[in-house]
Each structure stands twice: as structure tokens, then as C-alpha cells.
Amino acid sequence: MLRTHNCGELRRENDGQPVSLAGWVHSYREQGRELVFVDLRDRYGKTQVVFNTDEDSRIDELARKLRREDVIHVEGTVRYRGDGLTNPKLDTGEIEVRVTQLKLLSRSKTPPFEIEGGDLPNEELRLSHRFLDLRRPELQKNIRLRHDLTQAVRAYFNERDFLEIETPMLGRSTPEGARDYLVPSRVHPGSFYALPQSPQIYKQILMVSGFDRYYQIARCFRDEDLRADRQPEFTQIDLEMSFVDRDDVLEMIDGLVSSVMKQVRDIDVPLPLPRYTHAEVMEKYGTDKPDLRFGMPIHDISEIAAESDFSVFKTVIGNGGRIRGLTVKNGAEAYSRRLLDVDLKKFVGEYGARGLAYMKVVGGALESTIAKFFSAEQQQAIIATMEAEDGDLLLFVADSWKVTCAALAALRNRIAKEQNLYDPASFSCLWVVDFPLFTWNPDEDRFDAEHHPFCQPNAEDVEYLNTDPGKVRADSYDLVVNGYEAASGSVRIHDSEIQKAIFDLLRIDSEEAERRFGFLLDALRFGAPPHAGIALGLDRWVMMLAGNDNIREVIAFPKTQRAADLLSGAPSEVDEQQLLDLHIELSEPPAAE
RNA sequence: GGGGGCGUAGCUCAGUUGGUUAGAGCGCCAGCCUGUCACGCUGGAGGUCGCGGGUUCGAGUCCCGUCGCCCUCGCCA
């Protein structure tokens, strides 16, 4: 071993002890020719080491050549620094190591950015020099947190009879859902594997095989556009249970969430986590993943507006639309006319809203350019419906149901942030249940599965399967944390006849269904237990627990928005021979250098 | 595919209505300094203003195109 201690553990009690340390030169301070201080750093902390000619002039000579990020090994003696000479900012600040032997293990080029202190460099540089970026304490902390979370998850499931089972990365492409990452087969010309979007089918088959309780920290791949909270490869905490119903899964995850939050961040989560129906949150918050760290629900004034003289609202209602809005408490003064007419209007426009109407509540009545279209009685009705008081600002979107949802949900999040309506360090966890089983796809003239095609219809709604499929609720559930989808799951179909019926509704004919999912259908015909499961987005959980809003901050080697790895240079062109082996011919030659 | 933002020294940024030799802080290099710890002091080096084209007597600045990064809509069973 090169070291007896790490750089974060020496204390005054170690005074006089001979030690050896190794690490990176974090900073370097020369005091005249014969006294040199170095803060030596490793992932445990920093320790000041001292070189002094009194001890050995050769060491001192070498010490003066040290530069930041050089890797060195020192031997020496721990010494209390002396009264008035300690540094309270360092855990090891009461002591220093007086060096008697110095060895330069590795020289460092001058780093392109500072490891600590100063403004963060742009992300491009951070990603191309990720090995340096990862030395920063923030990322070290995040990666550590990720480890802690993963271990807490494993411990929780291991204690409850779950088996951790791996499933294939090279699988079959199922064109439903997200775009697949494809891997060409060398031995089967013209055929491709797909990287898993999730281990969905395999884990269901594991239930059929009798494994009863499965979990996996599973890497998943989706070739879709990236966002701040989305990477093309990401990690799910995936699990599946047999002989359970919805509530069993929800309770299991309630326990997981509270246990993990307590363990890794000492956060107390009251159980059970509240449950809302999909219909309820869409009506109240306009989204299936509401951030409930604050209130500000959506209110609907369609009925009042229909009776008013305001033709813009009446036309929308005549076309089957809705007039819905938000009440910004004490917001009347907070938003200037310019902000409302330009910024916020443009903002809701991104979600398809053609306009943003606003009113202020002043002296118990409405003040607005459109107030004149509403009678005194209607104004009172609006104030009552919006639960508004003097000084409040009312914001309205008049549009289709869908557009009012999207625009107001986004607006609600934006305003809450701007108005500091919540503590960003707080947590709100909730379940959303009873999602619709299908959504109508007008482009393809058919229904699409809202969750995935293996989701069990709610028993009460089975009668609508043939008459009104849009009405059928699914036995599915999402866990929402701070406005993020943090987990998603469902009770699965374990009857091949029902599964076939669902495929029919999705216009996947039996031949096609057999071709795509035959192995699952076949498995379901050999004695499938009722089963249900869920998958949690590990990266998002770590991100939230790290107090971050960017998933790249909790992934060691993330990709850019264009799915490139700036460190390794992936994706890259390959040799002609590799393409030949894979029977691949490029339709367009790559651009010349 | 659409919308928005950014790109000037190694890093973070400033740079006026288009006008002399493009600046600052940090970092880097050299020297000085025996108790520093954001050390201090003195001096110095360092620029394809992302790239290409255009307008102009003159472009970091204006116009067109293009590349990269970020946010976002669509997309993400």
C-alpha cells in the first residue's frame, strides 16, 4: 500500500504519528525558497503537507517543482499546526504532515479549468475532460450519492425475498413505443438486435417461470431526443411481483421510497403516499405529473364565460373548448403588462395556446381590458370560482381541453418558481392511478396504448373494451416526485385471451402479435401467475436527491443533447471491414474530411 | 423537424452608433517572500473574436450560410 491514511482522516489525535499519503496536488503555496505548503487531495478530503529545508533540502528542491494535479506520494510525521495556525475550513485543518520523503508519481499537464473554485466552465469542456470534471467535489458527491441509493435499494429488496436477475441487452426489436437502438447481427445477415427500452417482457416471463419477486438495476436505451432529465441510456430500478394486486406494489414502493430517502438523505416521508386519479390531476393541474410542493390549482370558468358577452371565449366554448385559469396570489403587481402581453403570452404559445387573458382583482371586482364583457354578477362568480381575493392576478387560457392542460400546467410551474411558492429543497411524492388504457391516435386512426400493451384493464371498465375503449381505465400507476415522473408501472395481463383482445384493439393483428410478442403470448398460455410491477428512474431519483435539475450531473459519463459522448468521441465511423462483416452498406457516404 | 439562448486569451467574461494597437479577473511562466491555506508582491507570455462567405474605405460589431453546446415544443408504449 502506498498510503497509511487517506487525505481526509488525520486529526489532532494523530499528532506525532508517522504516516504516508498519496493524492493530487490541489494547491501549492511557496513561502520563500525553503518552505512549501501543498494541499494534498483525494476523494476523502484534503490534507496540508509541508516541505521545509530544515528536514531535507533535496525534498525541498523537488517540492518547488510540483504543480497542480501532479500525483505524489509523501511520507512524514503528523503534527499539530499550533495555536492560531489551524484552518477551520478543512476537516484536517488542525494538523499537517511534515514531509520527510516525497515521490512524484505522475506529472499533470496544466488543467484547462480549475478543479475547485471559480465559475464552472462551459459544459462542452467539462464533458470532453470529464476525468477532470469528475474530480470536482460536487460530482464526487453525486456519484457517491448514486452508489448509496443503489445499495439502499438492493438492501431493501434483498430483505424482502426479491432476486436480482439480469436480462439480455441484445433482444428483439418491438417497434411499439420509443425508437430502438439497433445492433446488426454478423451471423444473421440483414437481422438486428435491439437494445432494451426496458426489461418489460423478460421480467413478465420471469414471473411465468415462478421467480415470484424480481428486481434489477437495469440499463435501458431509447433513441429519442434528449432533455435535461432524459439521456439515451439510463438506469431503471426494475421490479416485478407475482400474486399481487396494485395496492401490494404501491405499498412495496411506499416502503422503498421512505426507507431510501431516510437512509441516503435523512428525509422523513410520511406514508402512505397520497394517491390521485389521473382524471383528478388533469382537471386540477393539467398534467399527469403535477408538482405538489405548491398549490395553485387550475379552475374552470367555462360555464360563466359561456353566458358572458366575450365572443373570444364563447367561440372557443362553441367549438368544444374550455376556459381555464390560475389564480396568482398577490400577483396583481408582480407582472407588468409587457410581461403578460409579451413574455407569458409567448410562453403559453409554445404549448399551442393562441392567447393569454388576464384580470386583476381590485376592490372586489375585476380589472381588465376584457372585464367589460362580464356582468357584475359574472365577475363575482369568476372571483368565487377562482378562489381569488383583492390583489390576485387571474390568468386564463381559452382553448381545447388538451391545450389548456398543457399551457396552464407549464404556466403553473413557471409562476410558482418565479414567485418562490415552494422550498426547492422540499419533496412531494404522490401516486397517480387510473390512467386511461388507450389514447386515440388520429394520425393512425386507431388507439395507442397509454402505458404499454401488456397493461391490465381496470376490472370495472372491461365492459367498455368493445363499446368505448377510450373510457377504459388501466390498472396502472405513476409515482410523481416534484413534478417528475419518478416511476411507472402496472398490473399486467396474465391471460393470453385478454392480451389478444388488447392487441386487436391496438390493431396489431394476431399474426403480427405472434411475430412480435409471440414468446410472451406463448408464455402466458403455460400457466401465468397474476403479476404486477413497476420501474423507477434511478437517474432522476439521484438527481432530485442531489438537489439538481440536470440528469447529466449524476451520470459519470453522460451524452450531449445530440447523443454524443464528447469524451470518447462516440458515435464514430467504423472501418470498412467492420461494415462488410455486418453486411451493411451506407446509402450515403460520410462527408469528406 | 420547429422555437429560443450561447460561442472573444487556457477558464469566466467585458467590448459603445462599424473606426487607432481587442481588455479585465482567474489560471500559466519567471523572480522575490520561513506559517501559508482564495497567500502576497514584481514582471512576462498568451487571441484564426467557432468556421465560411458577403456588405463596407474599414467588421468582434451588420447580413447570409454553417458547426458545436444548452433550454424547449414535437417525440419519449
> Cβ within 7 Å of strand B: which of A 37-66?
37, 39, 48, 50, 52-54
pLDDT at A592: 40
Q: Which amino acid is at A113?
A: F
Nearest-10 crossing angle of helices A137-158, A538-545 = 120
* Residue A334 · residue A419 · CB < 8 Å: yes
**What is the spatial order of strands in the sheet that A365-367 belongs to?**
A299-300, A322-328, A393-399, A357-362, A365-367
* C-alpha dist (Å) from residue A241 to A47, A204, A252, A505: 49, 9, 10, 27
Report CA-CA distances (Å) from A154 to A143, A161, A259, A299, A592. Answer: 17, 11, 12, 43, 49
Q: How far, in Å, CA of A352 to CA of A402, rounded?
A: 9
- Determine if strand B comes within 7 Å of the CB of A194: no
Among all protein residues, pick the one whose CA is nearest to the C1' atom of B69: A124
SS in 3 state form for A187-237?
CCCCCEEECCCCCHHHHHHHHHCCCCEEEEEEEEECCCCCECCECCEEEEE
How far, rounded to the nearest angstrom, does the alpha carbon of residue A555 sit from its chain's CA centroid? 11
C-alpha dihedral, A224 to A228 to A229 to A231, nearest 10°: 40
For residue A583, what is its C-alpha cell?
Answer: 453486411
Task: Name every residue whose Cβ is closer than 8 Å to that of residue A427 and which is 6 or more positions away in sequence.
Answer: A261, A267, A269, A293, A481, A482, A544
Q: Which residues of A20-31 are buried (b: 16+ CB within 10 A; e: fewer)?
A: bbbbbbbbeeee
C-alpha to C-alpha distance for A248 and A236, rounded to whole angstroms: 20
Omega of the bond prior to A168 within 30 degrees of 0, cis? no
CA of A198: nucleotide with nearest C1'? B77
Query: Which residue's alpha carbon is at the shortest distance from the C1' of B40?
Result: A31
Q: What are the DSSP calls for A262-293, one per residue? A: HHHH-----SSPPEEEHHHHHHHHSSSS--TT
> Which DSSP helix (H) or strand (E) runs through A9?
none
User: Would the Cβ of A365 be found within 7 angstroms of any atom in strand B?
Assistant: no
- Nearest nucleotide from residue A85 CA, by C1' atom: B35
Assess whether A419 (CB) lies less than 7 A from strand B: no
Residue A87 grid coordinates: 484552518
Q: Can you give the pLDDT at residue A54? A: 67
Q: How far apart are CA A123 and CA A126, in angstroms?
A: 5
Q: What is the pLDDT of residue A507?
A: 79
Q: What is the C-alpha separation between A389 and A409, in angstroms, rounded?
A: 22
Provide the angle, in degrees to the nearest 10, between the axes of the packed helices A137-158 and A246-265: 140
Å from the A356 CA to the B64 C1': 35
Q: Whole-number Å distance, CA A177 to C1' B72?
A: 22
CA of A593 to C1' of B44 (A): 39
CA of A56 to C1' of B27 (A): 31
Strand B at less than 7 A from CB of A476: no
* Chain A 230..269 CB hits on strand B (< 7 A): 230
CB count within 10 Å of CB A87 equals 15
Total number of residues shown for chain A: 593
Coil, strand or helix at A312: helix
**Closest nucleotide to residue A448 (Cα to C1')?**
B77
Q: Write down the pLDDT at residue A481.
A: 98
Phi, psi of A89 (to 5 degrees): -75, -15
Chain A residues 546 to 575 whose Cβ lies within 7 Å of strand B are 550, 552, 560-562, 564, 566
Instruction: State the 10-residue block means of pLDDT for chain A, 593 residues long.
Output: 95 97 96 92 96 74 92 96 94 96 95 89 96 96 97 98 98 88 97 96 97 98 96 98 98 98 96 97 97 97 96 95 96 90 91 94 94 96 97 96 96 95 95 93 81 91 89 96 97 91 83 84 95 98 96 98 96 94 82 41
Handedness of CA A206, A207, A211, A213 (dihedral sign): positive
Within A 302-341, residues with CB less than 7 Å from strand B = none
> Which bases of strand B have any atom within 7 Å of the beta carbon of a protein residue?
1-2, 10-13, 25-29, 32-40, 68-77
Asked whether residue A152's C-beta has any atom of DNA/RNA strand B within 7 A, the reply is no
Tell me the torsion sign for CA atoms A266, A271, A277, A281: negative
Nucleotide closest to residue A30 (CA–C1'): B36
pTM of the model: 0.95
- Residue A300 phi, psi dihedral angles, 5° rounding: -115, 120
Are the beta carbons of A486 and A537 closer than 8 angstroms? yes
Separation CA A338–CA A379 (nearest Å): 24
- Report in angstroms the alpha-carbon separations of A304 from A70, A379, A391, A404, A510: 72, 9, 22, 17, 50
What pLDDT score does A593 carry?
A: 33
The residues of A between 173 and 192 with beta carbon within 7 Å of nucleic strand B are: 174, 176-179
Considering only CA atoms, which residue is closest to the C1' of nucleotide B26?
A118
Strand B lies under 7 A from the Cβ of residue A543:
no
Instruction: Round to a whole number and report the distance in Å from the CA of A126 to the C1' of B60.
Output: 25
Phi and psi angles of residue A276, each rounded to the nearest 5 degrees, phi first: -125, 150
List the A237 CA – B6 C1' distance (angstroms). Answer: 36
Task: Give me the pLDDT at residue A139, please.
Answer: 96
